[in-house]
Amino acid sequence: MQKNNKIYIAGHRGMVGSAVWRAFSKAGYNNIIGKTSKELDLRNQSEVFDFIKNEKPSIIIDAAARVGGILANNDYPYQFLMENMEIQNNLIKAAHENNITKFVFLGSSCIYPKLAPQPIKESYLLTSDLEPTNQWYAIAKISGVKLCEAIRNQFNKDFVSLMPTNLYGPFDNFDLKSSHVLPAMIRKFHEAKEDNNAPVTLWGSGTPMREFLHVDDMAQAVLFAVENKLPEHLYNVGTGTDVTIKELALTIQKEVGHQGEILWDSTKPDGTPRKLMDSSKMNSLGWNAKVELHSGISTTYKWFLDNIGDFKEVKI
């Protein structure tokens, strides 16, 4: 890898893409390119192909996706399946047909079966049923993993897929209609604190267990994958530890300073009972997570406070 190699980060303004951009810039890479969704519609095959053909980056990092929590996945299944397939298929096809030999595809732990043995190994993919509440997003990402595997096997190109656990950090989505659990809790507890410590209602029972990875750790995993030729096509990226949703809520409540009651709405779904990733393959190669959850939540809440005036509700 040369520091002046052209690197295209798809989705460079999102939480993951912006963290990847920061990580590569800090590491000295000086030829990073990105396009906003207004400048380049990744769902449009001809636009994507022309862009990749003209720019000819040495490396493509696919951090672009339509994302959201249980509510958004449940309410907009068509968009979550179709748009994610369009985005990744266009990028992968354009990379392959323009002979770009290094491609990093980013997915999610939701690709694995709902009741997979814990911790979840890469080999558990497609061994059982998916979690119904996010199956649309999961199926799209599984197809991306398999496309990269097919190109790697058939054409011997360095296409690799990284599957992070639940991510959080700066530039997260704090919209209550479409966000994931951690940023949603930060916003709920903050707004309740501002509203005279009003009660906070959270979905489910609070008993499911989840693993959380700071986005800066994820960005370091992407940097590691680019700077090294990984021997396999699929790697989990996580911390190796998890907490209950109730423990997470109490941690965030304390950090925010909310002193009201927490109410659990058991009529709402819990989702998968547990999702702990086995990241030993990545760890054995030399990458390890470094940001501890409490400090990560603290810095994320600080970022939330610094940027609260810029938030806009997400319309789907």
Check residue 313 and give its pLDDT: 46
Distance, CA of 48 to CA of 11 (rounded, Å): 13
Q: In 3-state terms, what secondary structure has residue 121?
A: coil
Structure confidence by residue, pLDDT tens digits, 260-272 = 999 999 999 887 7
Q: β-strands 209-210, 243-244: how paired?
A: antiparallel
Residue 278: how many CA atoms within 13 Å on its side-chain side? 13
How many percent of the chain have pLDDT more than 70? 97
Evaluate if residue 214 carries a pLDDT over 50: yes
Evaluate if residue 315 carries a pLDDT over 60: no
**Which residues are part of a known binding site?**
11-17, 106-109, 141, 164-167, 180, 188, 203, 210, 270
**Which residues are part of a known binding site for substrate?**
188, 203, 210, 270
Binning pLDDT at 50, 70 and 90, where does residue 311 land? low
Tell me if residue 137 is catalytic: yes
Is the separation of the CB atoms in 143 and 90 below 8 Å? no
**Which residues are part of a known binding site for NADP(+)?**
11-17, 106-109, 141, 164-167, 180
How much is the pTM?
Answer: 0.92
Structure confidence by residue, pLDDT tens digits, 52-80 = 999 999 999 999 998 776 777 778 899 99
Distance, CA of 94 to CA of 105 (rounded, Å): 14
The residue among 23, 178, 97 whose CA lies nearest residue 9 is 23
Distance, CA of 308 to CA of 4 (rounded, Å): 36
CA dist 258 → 63, 189, 244 (Å)? 34, 6, 19
Check residue 4 and give its pLDDT: 95
Catalytic choice (137, 168, 235, 301)? 137
Evaluate if residue 205 carries a pLDDT over 50: yes
Burial of 177 (0-12, 13-18, 19+ CB in 10 A): middle
Evaluate if residue 250 carries a pLDDT over 50: yes
CATH 3.40.50.720 matches 7-171+211-240+275-291: yes
Evaluate if residue 316 carries a pLDDT over 70: no
Task: Give the least confident one: 92-101, 116-125, 129-138, 245-254.
Answer: 129-138
Evaluate if residue 86 carries a pLDDT over 70: yes
Distance, CA of 16 to CA of 169 (rounded, Å): 9
Evaluate if residue 280 carries a pLDDT over 60: yes
CA dist 144 → 112, 161, 212, 233, 238 (Å)? 14, 8, 23, 12, 20
Residue with tokens 């008993």: 207
Check residue 282 and give its pLDDT: 98
Structure confidence by residue, pLDDT tens digits, 2-49 = 999 999 999 999 999 999 999 999 999 999 999 999 999 999 999 999
What mean pLDDT, rounded, does the chain reach? 94
Q: Where are the chain's structural domains?
A: 7-171+211-240+275-291
